[in-house]
Amino acid sequence: MIKNFINNFRGKSRGFSLLELLLSLAVFSIILLAVYSFFFSLSDSNLRTKASQTATDNAKRALEVITFEIKSAKSIYTPTTTASQLSLETSRYLQSGETATFIDFFMCGYAVCMKKESQEDAVALTSDSVQVTNLVFSQISTGTNPSVKVGLTVTSGSGQNLSSVNLTSTASVRSY
C-alpha cells in the first residue's frame, strides 16, 4: 500500500520537462527583446527630438536678433556687407558724442556672431551645442527701403541623432 502511494505520488508531480523549460525560456527572451527594442527606440526618438528642438530654437533666436536689428537700422553699410557678412548703420547703442554706430553679423567658427562697433569681441548668437553650417545675406531692393534676406542652416546632435534646420527670413530697413 505504501509502495502504491509512492508510485502514484511520483506519477502526478513529475516536474517540468526540458522541452517545456526551453520553450518558456524562449518566450521570455522574445518578450524581453521586444521590451528592450521599444525602450531603445523611445530613447533614440527622444534624442532626435531634442536635437531638432535645439537646432530650431538656436536658428530662430539668431534670426530674430538679426531681423530686429535690420528693422531698427538706419541703413545697410554696403562697403563691408557681403554674402557672408551684414553690416548695419544704426542709431542704437550710441556712445556719447556719436551720431551713428555699426553692427556686424557674421560666422565666427561654427556660430553666428554679432559685433557692435564699440565692443572688442563678438558675441555668439547661437549656443556651443549647435553648429551653423551656412549663413547667407542677400540684399533685395524693393521700393525705397532696402531689404535683406537671411538664410541660415543650423545642425545639432551627432550620429543618427543629427538634426539640421534651414530657416530664411527677410526684413526691411525702416530707417526711423
Looking at per-residue confidence, does 105 or 118 come out higher? 105
Q: Is the pLDDT of residue 97 over 90?
A: no
Q: Tell me, what's the pLDDT at 7?
A: 58
Tell me the average pLDDT across 114-129. 90
- H or E segment and range at residue 7: helix 2-12
Q: Tell me, what's the pLDDT at 64?
A: 96
Q: Is the pLDDT of residue 110 over 70?
A: yes
Q: Residue 156 has which C-alpha cell?
A: 545639432
List pLDDT tens digits, range 17-73: 889 899 999 999 999 999 999 999 998 889 899 999 999 999 999 999 999 999 989
First CA to last CA distance, the chain: 113
Instruction: List Cα–Cα distances, 33 to 27, 29, 39, 46, in angstroms.
Output: 10, 6, 10, 20
Q: Is the pLDDT of residue 9 over 70?
A: no
Using CA atoms, how far apart are residues 54 and 59, in angstroms rounded to an integer? 9
List pLDDT tens digits, range 130-149: 999 999 999 987 677 889 99
Q: Residue 162 has which C-alpha cell?
A: 543629427
Taking the model in full, what pTM does it have? Answer: 0.75
